[in-house]
Structure 1
Amino acid sequence: MTPLQQFIEASPRLFVLTGAGCSTDSGIPDYRDRDGQWKRPPPVNYAAFMHELATRQRYWARSMVGWRRFGRALPNATHRALAELEQRGQVELLVTQNVDRLHQRAGSERVLDLHGRLDEVRCMSCDWRLARDAFQQMLVERNPAWAQLDASDAPDGDADLEGHDFARFDVPPCPHCGGIVKPDVVFFGEAVPRERVEAATRAWQAADAVLVVGSSLMVYSGYRFVDAAARAGKPVAAVTLGRTRADALLTLKVDAPCQEALAFLQASRQPEAASLE
């Protein structure tokens, strides 16, 4: 039995925190390298998005191209392994920093989307909401020439379109009030809603231990739960490639791909599945 298996077996109720490393095997790029440094320019800033038309034009043009593949991404073995952990009754709450909803598609139900969800948009004035797929059609109808472009994928449904002039990109306003439409996710510089922070805090307090999967914890919004839990005496294990912000707090560190490290969770189902066939 590996140290990670021992850690999980000894933890009846886990607070699970996941990050971008969970979704790389689904074709969604991550943000940081093994040292926790940005691989590319940081994501769009909330204040810039809200106050600068040029920023919104650039964001939605890149998102329109990137959504074609992001919207079709499927859960991978890491998502399925964590869903299995929930089926075993060991997940107090899975808090994900990802916005791709792949944990839910893999079967996890006890999920808190800390940074929101990219498959919906909302008006920042009247709170009108729409599925991202439907908003994609609005973007394409207004910008048919952009629909022919292709580009390499960037994190969270973005696409690399450097060198393009975004000044003519037509961003749809809210059809109800004319307000600014934004993906229903927390941008950099934007606060995580208090109720989410409170729900996550209650969960780690109720848990026996913390399991971090696929996150460098460089962003404070996720790191704070690990820091608080460790200070409260909860054991913390992390499965991720490279350095994390919480290395000094960890009880166990597994520097390996998430799918590889968690494969034993799905393997435990194979004999049962075979007996049913």
Structure 2
Amino acid sequence: MLDTLDHQENHLDTLYRAMAERRFLVLTGAGISTSSGIPDYRDSEGVRRGRAPMMYQEFLATAQARRRYWARAMLGWPRVRIAQPNQAHLALATLQQRERISGLITQNVDTLHDQAGSHDVIELHGSLHRVLCLDCQQRSTRDVIQRQMEIDNPYLAEVHAVQAPDGDTLLDPTFEERFQVPRCPHCNGERLKPDVVFFGENVAPATAARAMAAVEHADGLLVVGSSLMAYSAFRLCKAMVEQGKPVIAINLGKTRGDELLQVKIEASCERLLPLLAERLGQ
């Protein structure tokens, strides 16, 4: 743990030696956004917290499942919407602007890297800020859909629910029965889906190809705040190792890829990354 100045300096030296002459690709997970107020999925042992998220197949199967999803998501969106990048996001944006990293891939759907100033971010799992119509394939901004839901469901205005990962909430099921699902502004269809990769859904082939191309062009991989339990992220670590390139992780707790890591630093990325950006900028 990053609990003393000595530990902090040792971690910083390790990262500096690895990255001073090489341009690493960075892969971020939920752990980088927790201090921005967005909960993560797993504990330090990699075990999922709370209830299981809705699966893609369940979402597609019934109107009732989509009603349940959107009722909970309507209450969860405001917290995601107001979240601000923290010092870790800002440090990575600085490293990219100075061309000290080769690129940035995120598993997160909160767009905090973009808000911090990063560019060409590969959103492995999409973005909650967009909504996709499964009928006409048109996209809408989430704020437009949110306003529609709030107008159609005023009874939820004073309801407070516990925040869960990815804009979900722990809403009492009794509040879901009356919920009016949003309709597509383009075709009036009812099958709207957040433009994210659900559990049980595959990453879009074009996105997967971009991520693998980024691995090919990088000198190494720095994993930040990810347990790597999702195969879409784990496979990037495997590919990097198969190419003989180093993989380093900054993560508080167990990862699926522990055996692949050249170095693992159990430390706060929000403290460590700004120091790394400063050191590499000298």
Q: TM-score w.r.t. structure 1 length?
A: 0.93
AA at the equivalent of 1:32 = R
Does 2:249 align with 1:238? yes
**Range with bigger deviation, 211-220 or 128-137:** 128-137
Q: Is the 8 A contact 1:125 1:177 kept in 2?
A: no
Identical aligned pairs, as a percentage? 46
Does 2:74 match 1:42?
no
List alignment gaps of at least 5 residues for structure 1: 272-277
Q: Give distance in 2, aligned partners of 1:208 and 1:30.
A: 29
Counterpart code for 1:239: I
Deviation at 1:270, TM superposition (A): 9.8
Distance in 1, Cα, partners of 2:224 & 2:38:
16
Note if 1:193 corresponds to 2:190: no
- State the aligned residue count: 270
Contact conserved, 2:226 with 2:251, CA < 8 A, in 1?
yes
**Equivalent residues in 2 for 1:94-243 (5 A)?**
94-175=104-185, 176-243=187-254
Report how far residue 142 of structure 1 moved: 1.0
Which residue identity lines up with residue 187 of structure 1 in the other structure? F
Shift of 1:235: 0.3
Letter in 1 for 2:28: T
Q: Is contact 1:121–1:129 with CA below 8 Å preserved after alignment?
A: yes
Question: 1:257 Cα deviation (Å)?
Answer: 1.5
For structure 2, which runs of at least 5 residues remain unmatched after alignment? 1-11
1:259 is the counterpart of 2:275 = no
Which of 241-250 and 35-44 deviates more? 35-44
Q: Structure 1: how far apart are the matches of 2:190 and 2:28?
A: 33
Instruction: For 1:138 and 1:265, locate their aligned partners in 2 and report how far apart those are by CA, in whole Å.
Output: 44
- Per-residue CA deviation, residues 140-178 of structure 1 (Å, 9 max, x unaligned), is 111110122112211111112135341211102324152
Q: In 1, distance between residues paired with 2:217 and 2:147?
A: 43
Which of 86, 89, 93 is 1:83 aligned to? Answer: 93
The aligned counterpart of 2:5 is none
Normalised by the length of structure 2, the TM-score is: 0.91
User: Does 2:77 align with 1:56?
Assistant: no
Alignment-mate amino acid for residue 52 of structure 1? T
Instruction: Output the amino acid matched with 2:24.
Output: L
User: Which whole-Å CA distance do the structure 2 matches of 1:233 and 1:266 have between them?
Assistant: 25
For structure 1, which segment, 245-254 or 39-48, has the greater mean C-alpha deviation from structure 2 after superposition? 39-48
| CA displacement at 1:55 relative to structure 2 | 1.4
Give, in whole Å, the separation in 2 of the partners of 1:10 and 1:223: 25
Structure 1 range deviating more: 48-57 or 260-269: 260-269
SS of structure 2 residue aligned to 1:94: strand
Counterpart code for 2:31? G
Aligned partner of 1:49: which letter?
Answer: F
Contact 1:118 1:184 in 2 (8 A): yes
The code of the aligned residue for 2:232 comes to S
